[in-house]
Chain A
């Protein structure tokens, strides 16, 4: 039983982080119809900057019990590179999707080397600082409080996003623009503003995800191309453009992977791809996505 709970918890933790990354992808795709191949680079940026920021804060004498706040802050701060990238991306909004995809691929290459220039090739960790909050007894097992906080943050962000999209004026405008951009612009919506805001928000979700995960993980260069594949699996399973899809997709991928590791260690990632293909055969637009054609 303990093992079962352990696995479920680890699956949920992984899903929490994946959700943030995939959610960012979905947001950007839903509104701007761009698939951001460089999302992995933002994830890595969040991880590396998170470490730098926390170390800086600790040096300044800030107590390590502020870890969560520091991490979230770091994610938000580095997410502010979003507008810069968006201004580059906007040059190809009118173009075919192939070019947009290619541009995000180029951005990934550039960011990869920039990260290497800034932080070097050696992986970085925050040591054991994530244990500053101790452990939590949950059923017959324990989980580090920090991990529970990460799950909590992710849930909170999911709810906040949902609330923003459903209840606020801004959210309404975002949804309208996602549905029909021309119409909403015709009705007076400032398209440029929406683009910058949404892309920044999407980027920030990615950087926050990377920052949140790094205290219990490590920042390393190969994160950039590796995490893209899993994020895409989530997005495909959940359905392109749907936030709910990102949530459900992340849970499916996270939990399935956790169980696969336990039961069928040999399969692991292979299982994820097979599920992706299966979903695409049965329900091509994903669980919550709109039809492809």
Chain B
């Protein structure tokens, strides 16, 4: 951001201006005397159609809420925020829209991305184009090491496997000694595979004896799961682990219930079920299931006023309850705001360069919708995770969680520089 040059101004006005600036700077305002009235442009990349359309939609709503709030309180460093929304589709097209946001629209920051595949694909481009980018989601363990070893301009979300680790820990905590055979039904792509592998690795790590009696890998988004369920039924597992997370999840639950698999005999562990929480109706979703709500449990009894405000706003506007993607979007916007304002302060009021904003974001701590979060120095986020056992005792027609366990992601994801699988085996992990 270049300041407007003073042209043809008399010396007195210049001196006056300098005086004013120093006054403002001294007042800690950080507001340059030559007014920066231009809005800050933030580009958003979110899916709007297809299988992840609902996730992107929720995230977008979270981002809009964040921006509205920020603009109401004066914007970031006095400048209002403007969103430019583009659709996340496949790797090639999304990279092109990213280029448009950076080269054509000249946005100050890009936020978004839900799909693991696209997030990995775009990362080299982000770094090469030196464009400050904050991912909402995505990035499983595969390929992370090769594509983004040390990101500079890119800020990543918490590892996708956080929910798998937490779910596994809760499963061990609540079900230890109550199961001998396990089965998995996971979507057939990197996310599903890593979740299942993480679960087994943790069981091994804690010395829980287990025998895998069935492994189902339905194609992502398959709606007809009756044959998969038949296979699970025949295998007679004590515990079923499922990281299904799209529309196939409630379909699975409903049909599993109809097939007699949800009458309480089988323990369920579902790290990503929160995406479809409002579709997990009580009629077919059993109680006592390990249910993952990621970084937002809209029904959390001790929720912050911020979260309560958001949930109320979301319900009155959209007649629905938000899932954690809204929190991820809000978090991204918050760390950008906080990081930028910290950089402004460091610079004494002038508008900071991108690299300075990046330095400001590193290590920053913010309050997100779901709870406190921060951004590590290695550009991986830390957030608060919620998972619990399902219960029918609520006023809705779908399940909520009670008790709810809360863990900060520092307990759930690998520390800087370490390999995920190594970390599982060696780290000090508490239940």
- List the interface of chain A (C-beta within 8 A of B): 2-3, 6-7, 9-11, 13-14, 112-113, 116, 120-123, 125, 127-128, 130-131, 135, 142, 144, 213, 216-223, 226, 257-259, 261-262, 265-266, 268-269
Contact = CB atoms under 8 A, between A and B. Distances in A.
Q: Is the interface of B mostly helix, strand, loop or mixed?
A: helix
B22 interface: no
A265 B231 contact: yes
Nearest to A225: B50
B299 interface: no
B194 interface: no
**Most-contacted residue by chain B among A128, A142, A269 (CB, 10 A):** A128
Contacts of B215: 265
Interface string B247-273: 110110011011110000000000000
B62 to A, nearest CB: 15
Interface string B39-63: 0000000001111011011000000
Interface in B223-265: 223-224, 226-231, 233-234, 246-248, 250-251, 254-255, 257-260
13 contacts: A7-B227, A10-B227, A10-B230, A122-B54, A123-B54, A135-B258, A216-B254, A217-B223, A220-B221, A220-B223, A221-B51, A262-B227, A262-B231
A213 to B, nearest CB: 8
**Residue of B216, B246, B248, B251 with highest tally of chain A CB at under 10 A:** B251
A144 B230 contact: no
A218 B223 contact: yes
A13 B259 CA distance: 14
Given A217-B251, A218-B251, A269-B219, A121 B48 contact: yes
B259 A6 contact: yes
Nearest to A113: B49
Nearest to B281: A127
Contacts, number: 127
Interface residues of B, number: 42
A216 B255 CA distance: 7
Contact of A220 (B48, B219, B230, B246): B246
Task: Name the residue among A6, A13, A259 with the largest chain B CB count within 10 angstroms.
Answer: A6
A292 B221 CA distance: 34
Given A221-B49, A223-B223, A261-B216, A121 B230 contact: no
B397 interface: yes
Contact of B234 (A3, A219, A266): A3
B338 interface: no
Interface string B189-201: 0000000000000
Interface in B134-175: none
B224 A144 contact: no
Given A120-B57, A122-B320, A218 B250 contact: yes
Contacts of A6: 229-230, 233-234, 259
Contacts of A220: 51, 221, 223, 246-247
Nearest to A223: B223
A96 B247 CA distance: 39
A135 B49 CA distance: 36
A265 B217 contact: yes
Contacts of B405: none
Contacts of A128: 254, 257, 281, 283-284
Given A10-B224, A218-B250, A261-B230, 18 more contacts: A7-B227, A11-B227, A14-B224, A116-B49, A121-B49, A123-B54, A125-B250, A125-B254, A127-B397, A128-B284, A131-B284, A218-B248, A221-B53, A222-B50, A261-B218, A261-B231, A268-B217, A269-B219
B279 interface: yes
B224 A7 contact: no
A125 B281 CA distance: 10
Nearest to B185: A265
A142 B260 contact: yes
A65 to B, nearest CB: 16
Contacts of B284: 127-128, 131
Given A10-B226, A128-B281, A116 B53 contact: yes
A66 B49 CA distance: 33
Given A127-B283, A262-B234, A268 B49 contact: no
A222 B54 CA distance: 11
A14 B230 CA distance: 13
Given A125-B279, A220-B247, A265-B217, A14 B223 contact: no
Nearest to A127: B281
